[in-house]
Amino acid sequence: NAGVTQTPKFRVLKTGQSMTLLCAQDMNHEYMYWYRQDPGMGLRLIHYSVGEGTTAKGEVPDGYNVSRLKKQNFLLGLESAAPSQTSVYFCASTEYTEAFFGQGTRLTVV
Amino acid sequence: LAKTTQPISMDSYEGQEVNITCSHNNIATNDYITWYQQFPSQGPRFIIQGYKTKVTNEVASLFIPADRKSSTLSLPRVSLSDTAVYYCLVGEVGAGANNLFFGTGTRLTVIP
């Protein structure tokens, strides 16, 4: 049972480039989330999904887009990366009691 | 959403019991209290969840008074490996994003 898997684990982007982060879960969870965590800070919710085909904005959605075409996958896209998006990105999934998190993607925008 | 307030940091010696208190004055009737632990460079990990009174598992205990306006996470006999950030979350279980808003947490440092 792999749980929640994020790819890639590390990435360096140039300002203005685009990329997609993939989150995959094998627990058949309905709810999935994307967070960012800046140094010394807590997690801030970017976008979330309550089921296949649905997405909603969280606390800090600007500059990001998401898609949930399949129940097991939740994609986070950066259309035009900015240095302010340098952060560690975490994906999570949950059904009821506990949320399961991926190991994170460390993204640097130069 | 019920706002939570926790101490920013705490230090403790190895072998001591650590109690981290979280205030949530505006907790709603359907809200549960959940604690997560996060080690550096890792995603948060679920520790414990409760609604009222006391909950205990193999890792920690959670004490919730009758008015539910606060809760205390108790870690018995901490070791160096318990050094981490601990987050208190309040929200409905199974209600989408309602229960997964993280604050800045409490940074616990265990001293040898």
Query: How many contacts (CB atoms, under 8 Å) link A and B?
Result: 61
Residues of A in contact with B43 (CB under 8 A): 4, 90, 92, 101-104
Task: Report the amino acid identity of residue B42.
Answer: Q
Q: Is the pLDDT of residue A9 over 90?
A: yes
Q: Within 13 Å of residue B101, how many CA atoms lie on the same side as its CB? A: 17
Cβ-defined contact of A56 to B41 (cutoff 8 Å): no
Query: pLDDT band at B101, cuts 50/70/90?
Result: confident
Cα B104 to Cα B84: distance, rounded to the nearest angstrom: 12
Structure tokens at B57: 């598992």
The mean pLDDT value of chain B amounts to: 91
The answer to whether A97 faces chain B, any CB pair under 8 Å, is: yes
For A71-93, what is each residue's pLDDT tens digit?
999 999 999 999 999 999 999 99
For B5-42, what is each residue's pLDDT tens digit?
999 999 999 999 999 999 999 998 988 999 999 999 89
**Helix intervals (H) in chain B:** none
Q: Is the pLDDT of residue B69 over 60?
A: yes
CB contacts under 8 A, B 93-112 vs A, are 93-94, 96-97, 100-105
- In the sheet that holds B70-75, the strands lie side by side as B18-23, B70-75, B61-64, B53-56
- In the sheet that holds A19-25, the strands lie side by side as A4-7, A19-25, A73-78, A65-67
Q: Which of A52-61, B33-42, B82-91, B99-108 has the lowest mean pLDDT?
A: B99-108
